[in-house]
Structure 1
Amino acid sequence: MKKTAAFLTLGCKVNTYETEAMRGMFEAAGYEIVDFKELADVYVINTCTVTNIADRKSRQMLHQAKKRNPKAIIAAVGCYVQAAEQELLADSAVDIVVGNNKKSDIVTMVERFYMSKHKEELVTDINRENEYEELHVITTMEKTRAFIKIQDGCNRFCSYCIIPYVRGRVRSRGMDDILSEITSLTKKGYKEFVLTGIHISSYGTDFTEFIHEKDGNEDIDDDKTRIPLAQLILLISQIPGIERIRLGSLEPGIITEDFVNAVSGVEQFCPHFHLSLQSGSDTVLKRMNRKYTAREYFDKVELLKKFFEQPAFTTDVIVGFPGETHEEFEETLDFVKKIGFSQIHVFKYSKRAGTKAANMSGQISEEIKGIRSNKLITIANKMSKEYKSSFMGKIEKILIEEDLMIDGRTYQVGHNERYLKMAINCDENLSNQIVNAKVTSYLKDDILLCEITH
């Protein structure tokens, strides 16, 4: 009888990719994969440590798995492991502790535990790691879109962020390896690829041929002829079967005339830009160590508008950062209105032990953070509705991803190139196909209803 393994991903899309890779390793080793809520012989929890709440969730899921099957092997892997190694080694509910850049050893460690019954540990000093850990996905849980990890680590050290300490420095994946994986997935029917990483704007800056004589903490800007991320996008676009190329979160610094000119010429490139903002106040940005001003951010948006029609801008904003005054918060409100985002992810600042911001004076009360968050969310929802409404009557290309039952009727739902959710009512099964459809109305607040055009 096959041994069974179950997986749980906490946190970001990079973790999702890594979990898919580990799942593939267990399948190749002969394990049967079951749902995390089922009884399994092995539970692998890919943890997150971006906030104290994420730490608590990671601990809860590890203990929940052990409670579900006390005889199971419980493996904690990833970011929380890097931040709380000693705590996990002392935790009787956890059998295997694997840090970042060592996930490729997970199956070997499980098999070794079966033999020894002794706690297994593999956690290195991530800040000394300089090689990208090669992981590969064979299939993903999604059937139409695949997330492709292209780099790991971050050199930015924003004052509120723990990630550089648990993911280490920038390490880029070789282009040939990326192209090989994407080629394999296109042959299995995947049409859209999302390039993801911890800081994809830094992709390739650690390659010998691209190293500049400049501070590693500065934004990428002046390699006029060879921008690694742009080169990668151009190479991916040449793979047969590629319909869409989408980018994960970007830093404003990579948006230069050369970069935008290069990617705007790629037919499959999606004009959907998640440009991390965090605050629209220059004084708050400086305390955050974000290395750009609101004016510079605005100029990047204007540059993208020159090259793309109706580009979608999404972002993250933190409210209640230490010392944030009423005036600074109002600056952020004014700035987001000026940009006109299609979506804003609003976060109330959460103190994270081990970061500079955790020790800053002027910590904001939860009550004030809540008021500011609600105010920004209201504005964000209004902007999102305005952006969606601008597509009324237009013909859009929709990649059909799933069926949804809404008000007793089944719709086929997917996204357009700007990542707006759209639905059609059609008897023909159009799963994993790109269809042209005219936007007619709202099906729900977050879904546009469309009619197929011929």
Structure 2
Amino acid sequence: MKTVAFHTLGCKVNTYETEAMQQLMEAAGYSCVEFGERADVYIINTCSVTNIADRKSRQMLHRARKMNEDAIVVAAGCYVESAKDKIDEDLSIDIIVGNNNKNDIVNIINEYLQNKKENKFIIDINKEIEYEEFSISKINDHTRAFIKVQDGCNQFCSYCIIPFTRGRVRSRKMENILDEVKNLASYGYKEIVLTGIHLSSYGVDFLDESYNKRMEKLTQTEESDEEFVNKNELLCLIENIADIAGIERIRIGSLEPRIIKENFIKRLSVIDKFCPHFHLSLQSGCDKTLKNMNRKYTAYEFYEGVELIRKYFNSPAITTDIIVGFPGESESDFEESRKFIEKVKFYETHIFPYSIREGTKAAKMSQIDGNEKVKRANILNEININNQKEFRDLRLGKEDEMLCEELLIKDGIEYFTGYTKEYVKVAFLNRGFKTNDIIKGKIVDFLTDDILLMK
């Protein structure tokens, strides 16, 4: 039996696609082994979000070749798209697969085995309008199922290469998503996480162009808000998944701040299965920097959205991403951003010193000194640590629930650990629980600095 090994770099969308490719290869008779083992085929699902990600992708491809000189090494994904003009020169790679050809991975490998001539399978992703249909029947993570529902991005932020490696927005048909969720529920999965390259855009390609142009100019008026919500495919998808028996939790990936409108949040708040963990990508709390990033909202508009979430949800977890040291970010710009971050009081802030991504507008802008980026990141990290502790402190004494995921032994005592709906990690004394059980109790103390104890 031939063997195949996978390695995934980058986002949850890549993780989902790797799971799908793995199941296709297994169905074709391949046995999957760990990436560090000798295999007949190595498939590296690459990332290209930064120049560093490009380098890691190349390193993994070269590592695969060294593990077995006779193996077939496949480069798939975003690095392939961004480096398609020069990737042919890499002698470590046998087959090149673009982002909308991954579902044909078995046929691609078989064709290469037959003639070893055709080895480049890349379409013009920027002209692609059809969603590449994937489905999975099992997840390596036995408690949380990530479901890809959307691909591509139309935003063109000045620092981001993704629209060029993933193409324009393409959404998966709702009936196909619901069928997959029903299948996963039948296998006992209780928590579904909806993910995509630009999740907030799910379904916009189903709607007419004039409507989408009108929505781009929306303000927070009651009429436009109501129209937006009535035609919002992501909201409809969440509501339909909530009706599927066996699914107990619905979690969503990163959202664009502009999707947060009152009726949207109000409708989410009445879905008992919805997890009140909102990851809103801020990137900067300074309006000048946001404009330079081409983020299409102001700090004030972002804050309005946060206040709406807190109006309809009791103590929701609001997390974000921040880029520090963006080209042209002065000390006063950073200070404006820092004060805004303190004002919002995020549960968790993912802080990234700006990294040049060749091929983007930001790469041509005036760059900030690397030491200054580190200094600013350290300042925000201190705020993040304090905000995390404060949010966890507020959970003490509250009734809550957790999804059992992993065993932990501390001081000779065995606990089950998992996450609340707000994605706060908690532990419960193991009383014969099983992975994937949902248990309820009261949060009474800290087990460790970052794990709360439930009884």
Gap regions ≥5 residues in structure 1 = none
Could you tell me how far 1:209 is from its partner in structure 2?
Answer: 6.1
Amino acid at match of 2:28: A
Q: 1:429 aligns with which of 427, 433, 440?
A: 433
**Partner residue of 2:222?**
none
Matched residues in 2 for 1:449 and 1:65: separation? Answer: 42
Matched residues in 2 for 1:226 and 1:178: separation? Answer: 18
Amino acid at match of 2:331: H
Amino acid at match of 1:242: I
2:418 maps to 1:445: no
Could you tell me how far 1:208 is from its partner in structure 2?
Answer: 3.8
Matched residues in 1 for 2:217 and 2:70: separation? Answer: 50
- In structure 2, relative to structure 1, the CA distance for the partners of 1:337 and 1:431 (3 Å cut) is same
Amino acid at match of 1:70: E
**Partner residue of 1:277?**
282
With normalisation by structure 1, the TM-score equals 0.96
Could you tell me how far 1:216 is from its partner in structure 2?
Answer: 8.2
Gap regions ≥5 residues in structure 2 = 220-224
- In structure 2, relative to structure 1, the CA distance for the partners of 1:67 and 1:165 (3 Å cut) is same
**Partner residue of 2:360?**
355
Q: 1:344 aligns with which of 346, 349, 368?
A: 349
**Partner residue of 1:415?**
419
Give matches, 1:389-400, under 5 Å: 389-400=393-404
2:378 maps to 1:374: yes
Matched residues in 2 for 1:116 and 1:35: separation? Answer: 28
- Farther off after superposition, 212-221 or 429-438: 212-221
Maintained 8 Å contact 1:210/1:226: no
Matched residues in 1 for 2:434 and 2:353: separation? Answer: 40
Question: What do the CA deviations read for 1:130-173 (whole angstroms, capped 9, x no partner)?
Answer: 00000111111100110000100000000000000110000000
Identity %, equivalent residues? 53
- Farther off after superposition, 441-450 or 405-414: 405-414
Matched residues in 1 for 2:143 and 2:440: separation? Answer: 17
Question: What do the CA deviations read for 1:75-112 (whole angstroms, capped 9, x no partner)?
Answer: 00000000011322221110110011110111111111
- SS at 1:212's partner residue? helix
Could you tell me how far 1:356 is from its partner in structure 2?
Answer: 0.3
Could you tell me how far 1:420 is from its partner in structure 2?
Answer: 0.3
2:236 maps to 1:231: yes
Could you tell me how far 1:219 is from its partner in structure 2?
Answer: 7.3
Maintained 8 Å contact 1:155/1:216: no
Query: How many equivalent pairs are there?
Result: 449
Maintained 8 Å contact 1:130/1:169: yes
Matched residues in 2 for 1:218 and 1:376: separation? Answer: 32
Matched residues in 1 for 2:119 and 2:212: separation? Answer: 42
Matched residues in 2 for 1:300 and 1:129: separation? Answer: 33
- In structure 2, relative to structure 1, the CA distance for the partners of 1:24 and 1:285 (3 Å cut) is same
Aligned residues: CA RMSD: 1.5
Matched residues in 1 for 2:296 and 2:363: separation? Answer: 19
Maintained 8 Å contact 1:152/1:198: yes
- SS at 1:259's partner residue? helix
**Partner residue of 1:102?**
101
Maintained 8 Å contact 1:210/1:228: no
With normalisation by structure 2, the TM-score equals 0.96
2:260 maps to 1:260: no
Question: What do the CA deviations read for 1:171-222 (whole angstroms, capped 9, x no partner)?
Answer: 0000000000000000001000000000010110100468615178667965
Matched residues in 2 for 1:122 and 1:224: separation? Answer: 39
